[in-house]
Amino acid sequence: MSTFLAKRDEVERDWHLIDADGQVVGRLAVVLARILTGKHRPEYTPHVDTGEFVVVVNAEKVRLTGKKLETKVYQWFTGYPGGRKLRTAKEMLVKKPATVLREAVRRMMPKNKLARHQLTKLKIYAGPQHPHQAQQPKPLKIEL
């Protein structure tokens, strides 16, 4: 019996629509990372992109448990001396709500080129509207 290996051109990708209203960030990020990498499919192959497209709406309504709103800090560097920028999770949810969820998913993915490519299939929107109606995304109910 030979081992099945998926081929990039033979993989059929679906579009999923997920409503993030009231979902916990970390638990939702685990589900999103699984779908993006394709681990939920029987034809999963580690070195081939077998994942699917995911559209997330209402990212501004996600929840953080415990004291993470005040204690979790996002940082980045501008490239200039003294250019370290810090922002709490509460500030990020107000200014850039999609970044909170995108960073949680990115940090759960492998650190390689394939994962960076798979992350481009994640579309996050702060409100309930999205421009992907033509792809006919199927609503995916997440039970956590």
Kindly state whether residue 41 falls inside one of the protein's structural domains.
yes
Kindly state whether residue 50 falls inside one of the protein's structural domains.
yes
Kindly state whether residue 114 falls inside one of the protein's structural domains.
yes
Kindly state whether residue 85 falls inside one of the protein's structural domains.
no
Structure token digits, residue 58: 């209402």
- In order of 84, 131, 133, the CA distances from 61 in angstroms are 28, 19, 22
Residue 80 backbone class (left: φ over 0; alpha: ψ -120 to 50; beta: rest): beta
* Residue 133 structural domain: 13-63+94-139
pTM, two decimals, is 0.92
Q: Number of structural domains, the chain?
A: 1
Kindly state whether residue 71 falls inside one of the protein's structural domains.
no
The CATH code of the domain that includes 57 is 3.90.1180.10
pLDDT number for residue 139: 96
- Taking 70 as the pLDDT cut, the residues of the chain under it are 144
